[in-house]
Amino acid sequence: MAAISPVQKTFLGQPFFAVIGASKDTSKFGTKVTLGILQQAKELDVPALWLQPGAEDEAVVEYIKENLADRVIYGGPCILVQGDDIRSSL
């Protein structure tokens, strides 16, 4: 297993969390929804976010890099597949 990043520790250490894009059906979330959630998360000072693979596009990635680079996991791994293993290794 790969090393655990600080943002993964922060995310998985929270008592509650939500997963953005927890479906292969992009009509359920779409990247416009993802961008809106990220903007709100920044305003609310959410400590960590984990995007499911495919929940991002170029605009979302650019927003993350400019505003939330140290608080967002994106582009994998899938929290729904690997989250328990990652959490148990903390």
For the chain, the domain total comes to 1
pLDDT digits (tens, 9 = 90+) for 26-75: 666 667 788 988 999 999 999 988 888 888 899 999 999 999 999 998 88
Q: Cβ neighbours of residue 35 under 8 Å, at least 6 residues apart?
A: 59, 60, 63
CB of 7 closer than 8 Å to CB of 70: yes
Distance CA(4)–CA(8), nearest Å, equals 6
CA distance between the termini of the chain: 12
Does residue 37 belong to any structural domain of this protein? Answer: yes
CB of 42 closer than 8 Å to CB of 67: yes
Distance CA(77)–CA(86), nearest Å, equals 10
Q: Which pLDDT does position 80 carry in this prediction?
A: 72
Which 3 state secondary structure label does DSSP give 78?
coil
Q: Which pLDDT does position 14 carry in this prediction?
A: 77
Domain enclosing residue 57, as ranges: 6-88
Does residue 18 belong to any structural domain of this protein? Answer: yes
Does residue 1 belong to any structural domain of this protein? Answer: no
Residue with the bigger pLDDT between 80 and 56: it is 56
Distance CA(58)–CA(17), nearest Å, equals 24
